[in-house]
């Protein structure tokens, strides 16, 4: 498997998709590297409160590549939404994504739009917000993530996400496909990845039960074949609950390579 593979490390608030705590993020990066991974995804609520130079220095010292930045914690913590009819909340969401873009640019990292697009909202406003974000810096990639119907009523499938990308009309806007969400919403998981083609900027991995890959029944072989078919050149990040254990999550690199 030739793709960069990483785990999620939170810098400000704890996330259920990581066994690490924010106050120990530097040690966490070392544990990610020691477990054999070559990359990381950072969970950041507000990049204005993070010392980017310090992050860059620690990443370099650990020999890790920053693949991506999550933004969704700001949706739950601050009520931000790119599709909100509340103009203040929408405006703050757009500005927050732009701050993430500034942080991500020196690393060549992808900025993820998952929960921050809103659980419910106005599709037209979402398109306008994404266009404004994409236009802010065309050199920074943004990935819109389809979420399952229980987490959002906006953009549940790869086809719906591709439709939004087409409406926005920006080359730096693409997709993040998450195997957990795709397993719920897609008719055929491999086809969803193939349909994304060159618009697939990032991938999240979790099994059918959102546990560590290998502890559910998701057909990962179909995912690997699809990624090879489209010559995917992005990274893979495990966004799974640390179940059955944190140790299993840290050891999942070996599990994935055996699949």
Q: Which residues are catalytic?
A: 145, 239
d(CA 174, CA 171): 8
Residues 6+ away with beta carbon under 8 Å from 20: 9, 10, 28, 31
Torsion sign across C-alpha atoms 237, 241, 247, 251: negative
- In this structure, are residues 191 and 158 in contact, taking their beta carbons and an 8 Å threshold? no
d(CA 183, CA 186): 6
- In this structure, are residues 151 and 115 in contact, taking their beta carbons and an 8 Å threshold? yes
Asked if the bond preceding 177 is cis, omega within 30° of 0, the reply is: no
Scan for tokens 């990845």, then name that residue: 193
């Amino acid at each position: 498997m030739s793709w960069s593979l990483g785990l999620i490390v939170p810098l400000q608030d704890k996330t259920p998709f990581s066994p690490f705590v924010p106050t120990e993020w530097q040690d966490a990066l070392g544990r990610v590297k020691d477990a054999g991974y070559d990359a990381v995804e950072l969970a950041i609520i507000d990049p204005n409160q993070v010392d980017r130079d310090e992050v860059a220095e620690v990443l370099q010292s650990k020999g890790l590549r920053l693949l991506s930045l999550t933004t969704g914690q700001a949706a739950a913590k601050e009520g931000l939404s790119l599709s909100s009819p509340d103009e203040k909340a929408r405006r703050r969401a757009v500005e927050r994504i732009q701050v993430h873009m500034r942080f991500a640019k020196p690393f060549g990292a992808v900025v993820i739009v998952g929960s921050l697009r809103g659980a419910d909202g106005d599709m037209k406003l979402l398109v306008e917000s994404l266009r404004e974000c994409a236009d802010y810096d065309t050199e920074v990639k943004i990935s819109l993530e389809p979420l399952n119907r229980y987490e959002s009523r906006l953009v549940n499938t790869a086809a719906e996400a591709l439709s939004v990308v087409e409406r926005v009309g920006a080359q730096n806007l693409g997709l993040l496909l998450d195997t957990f969400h795709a397993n719920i919403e897609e008719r055929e998981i491999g086809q969803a990845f193939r349909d994304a083609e060159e618009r697939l900027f990032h991938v999240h991995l979790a099994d059918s039960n959102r546990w560590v890959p290998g502890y559910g029944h998701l057909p990962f072989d179909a995912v690997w074949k699809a990624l090879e078919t489209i010559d995917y050149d992005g990274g893979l990040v495990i966004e799974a609950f640390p179940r059955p254990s944190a140790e299993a999550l840290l050891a999942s690199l070996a599990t994935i390579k055996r699949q």
